[in-house]
Amino acid sequence: MNLTELNRIATAMVAPGKGILAADESSGTIKKRFDAIGVESTEANRRDYREMLFRSKEAMSQYISGVILYDETIWQDAKDGTPLIRLIEESGALPGIKVDEGTQALPMCPGELVTVGLDKLAERLKKYYERGARFAKWRAVIDIGSGIPSMTAISVNAHALARYAALCQAAQIVPIVEPEVLMDGDHDIERCYEVTQRVLNKTFQELREQRVALEGMVLKPNMAISGKKCAKQASVEEVAEKTIRLLKACVPAAVPGIAFLSGGQSDEEATAHLNAMHKLGPLPWGLTFSYGRALQAAPQKAWSGKAENVAAGQRAFSHRARMNGLASKGEWQASLEKKAA
Ligand code: 5MM
């Protein structure tokens, strides 16, 4: 393992002004997204959609540091035969790959999930590296509800995240470690804070025990935020203040960067929260976005599966990427959204 190189990649992934595009929707998830815009989820449509994103020059060259791909996409070619992964490399962004194989019910823990995909992971990582992937992603899902999460679910998911991270580093791939505490539910921000704290503490304990080099990884956490159905929604300032307090308490400064998931926040909320956190600096790590929905909802709608809408889709993507790029430096203002509208 070359830790200097892992650290260089991890640092580039969270460079100020840039963030990560999570375009790693599995077949089931992309179908849901396409259903919402009335597009059939065929291999050609998935290719056309992702090709549109990766050929968005402004977004990709100025605001996107890396793209998380799904297995199908990393092997897919653009319409003109160029591998999609080459489009990403040519734009200057780093290609990454989702390597978890989704979740399964956790035995003895009703309503809880464990992420799977460790079997043969070493072999898969080797192939992905040869194809050009320089970082990977594994997502653990922790739900908040009555009596959950259990410490069992937190432990097994943290253990798997650390196993994955160690295998990545051994394969010279930077692991994005994503323990997502879901924002579905009616819990308040304090409960989210308390559960996320337990999850992060356990995750870093496992990472240390399994000898993962913190200098060669990126953390992808949720923010400390009110549940979607909570009657009292915390303000932007409260989310920012609590999230930074939580991360400072749990994430060692050796970690080069933190890149948030958006988790179901609206596009603008996700941008405003990141921006507000940067007002609370200086921060010990790079802090940016690794959004899926909050970067793609607008371009998906603008594109709607029509070739004549490609330019409009690219404009919508570039706008969101620029807004989040500004937020990653604390330079975003709500008025910039209005001007664009
Ligand atoms: C793009 O969504 C990713 C893939 O999800 P599935 O494996 O369920 O298809 C997801 O892992 C994503 O990378 C993160 O959760 C962040 O996405 P959001 O939409 O929460 O920013």
End-to-end CA distance of the chain: 47
Look up residue 72 and give its DSSP letter. H
For residue 205 and ligand 1, the question of a CB distance below 6 A is answered with: no
Verify whether residue 178 is a known catalytic residue.
Answer: yes
pLDDT digits (tens, 9 = 90+) for 299-335: 999 999 999 999 999 999 999 999 999 999 999 999 9
- C-alpha 66 – ligand 1 centre gap (Å): 15
- A 10 A CB-CB count for 145 gives 14
Q: What per-residue confidence (pLDDT) applies to 340? A: 73
Look up residue 235 and give its DSSP letter. P
How many Å apart are CA 166 and CA 227, to the nearest integer? 32
- C-alpha 19 – ligand 1 centre gap (Å): 15
User: CA 104 → CA 71, 113, 167, 246, distances in Å?
Assistant: 19, 5, 21, 29
Confidence of residue 341 (pLDDT cuts 50, 70, 90): low
How many Å apart are CA 154 and CA 112, to the nearest integer? 10
For residue 29 and ligand 1, the question of a CB distance below 6 A is answered with: yes
Q: Phi and psi at residue 104, in whole multiples of 5°?
A: -130, 160
Q: CA torsion angle for 154, 114, 217, 121 (degrees, to 10)?
A: 150
Atom 20 (ligand 1) nearest CA:
263
Question: Which tokens sit at 262?
Answer: 């958006």
Confidence of residue 339 (pLDDT cuts 50, 70, 90): confident
For residue 21 and ligand 1, the question of a CB distance below 6 A is answered with: no
Question: Which tokens sit at 305?
Answer: 């599966």
ipTM: 0.89
Return the percentage of the chain with pLDDT > 90, whole number: 99
**SS3 state at 67:** strand
- For range 257-276, the mean pLDDT: 98
Q: Are strands 64-69 and 174-181 parallel, antiparallel or unpaired?
A: unpaired
Confidence of residue 338 (pLDDT cuts 50, 70, 90): confident
Verify whether residue 220 is a known catalytic residue.
Answer: yes
pLDDT digits (tens, 9 = 90+) for 10-68: 999 999 999 999 999 999 999 999 999 999 999 999 999 999 999 999 999 999 999 99
How many Å apart are CA 276 and CA 279, to the nearest integer? 5
For residue 22 and ligand 1, the question of a CB distance below 6 A is answered with: yes
User: What is the pLDDT of the chain when averaged over all its residues?
Assistant: 98
pTM: 0.98
Closest CA to 100 of 86, 114, 87, 116: 116
